[in-house]
Amino acid sequence: MVEAHDARVPFKCLSRVDLLLRPGEIAAMKRAGCQIVWVGAESGSQKILDAMEKGTRIEQIVEAARRVHEHGFQIGFFLQFGYPGETREDIAKTLELVRRCRPDDIGMSVSYPLPGTRFYERVKDQLGVKQNWEDSDDLAMLYHGPFTTAFYRQLHVVLHKEYRARRTWWRLTGPRADGIPRPGWRQMAAMVYHIATLPLARRRLERLARLPHEGLPALSPALSPAAAAIPTPQEEVG
């Protein structure tokens, strides 16, 4: 109907990588006017995705990003750190996934146990007085995660310094999504700044990683990846 009435309005939306890979999905989104689609990539470690019962595969994330870029619009990644059992190797895999897929924007959070979920039931005994973030950038661990809150806040610094520098370089040297201009001098100066300050940020992260800390053990998934990929039945409204 959008095409038939030439009613195309630029929009952004949320989706899942497995849904984006349905035949014709990405092409239809492009024709409808999608500018950026955000997906819960979450982690570059299949072990962590399975523990989360995410129901998606690393190769689906990579392929969805490739196809979106091939069709000339943008993809954003929500990334999640701090799930029980996550290691430095798992974190490194997530950083490598970002480098490989070149998302056009990213958002980072730490794992948040929502009441009513199996994850919450497994960690509720660890929750203290603080059971909610003060704001979306809080990055406070609400349970005994693999590392301290200070570690994840510094990881946020490292992730974004590297990502912003790389994104400027990608936009300077690679194909452009529709409506995205080449970087100007301000972006170039910021890239130099992030590259120059990244080594110190990484050293701080390494020091925080070595602080004594005891987190929860890894959680075994209750669902298989195939079962986790099946949407929960929704009640029909009126």
What pLDDT score was predicted for residue 99? 97
Q: What residue type is 125 in one-letter code?
A: D
Mean pLDDT for the chain overall: 89
Among 113, 111, 110, residue whose Cα is nearest residue 122 = 113
Condensed to tens digits (0 to 9), the pLDDT of residues 169-224 reads: 998 887 766 778 888 999 999 999 999 999 999 999 999 999 988 888 887 887 88
Q: Which residue, 109, 105, 107, 108, is CA-closest to 168?
A: 105
Name all domains of the chain by residue range, CATH numbers in brackets. Answer: 11-219 (3.30.750.200)
What does the pLDDT average to over 98-127? 87
Q: What is the pLDDT of residue 106?
A: 97
First vs last Cα of the chain: how many Å apart?
25
Question: pTM of the predicted model, to two decimals?
Answer: 0.89
**What pLDDT does residue 109 have?**
93
CA dist 191 and 180 (Å) reads 17
Spatial separation of the C-alpha atoms in residues 238 and 48, rounded to whole Å: 38
The model's pLDDT over 134-154, given as tens digits with 9 standing for 90+, comes to 554 578 888 888 999 999 999
Question: How far is 61 from 220, CA to CA, in rounded Å?
Answer: 22
What confidence tens digit (pLDDT) does each residue in 14-39 have? 999 999 999 999 999 999 999 999 99
Query: In percent, how much of the chain has pLDDT > 90?
Result: 64
Give the burial class of 57: count Cβ atoms within 10 A of its Cβ; 0-12 exposed, 13-18 middle, 19 or more buried: middle
What type of residue sits at position 119? Answer: F
d(CA 55, CA 57): 7
Q: What gap in Å lies between CA 213 and CA 118, rounded to an integer?
A: 24
The token pair at 70 is: 């091939």
Of the listed ranges 34-43, 82-91, 93-102, 207-216, the least confidently predicted one is 207-216
pLDDT above 90: residue 6: no
The whole-angstrom separation of Cα 75 and Cα 222 is: 30
Average confidence (pLDDT) over 158-175:
92
Q: Work out the pLDDT band at 120, boundaries 50, 70, 90.
A: confident
**Distance between alpha carbon 59 and the CA centroid of its chain, in Å?**
15
200 HSE (CA, 13 A, CB side)? 5
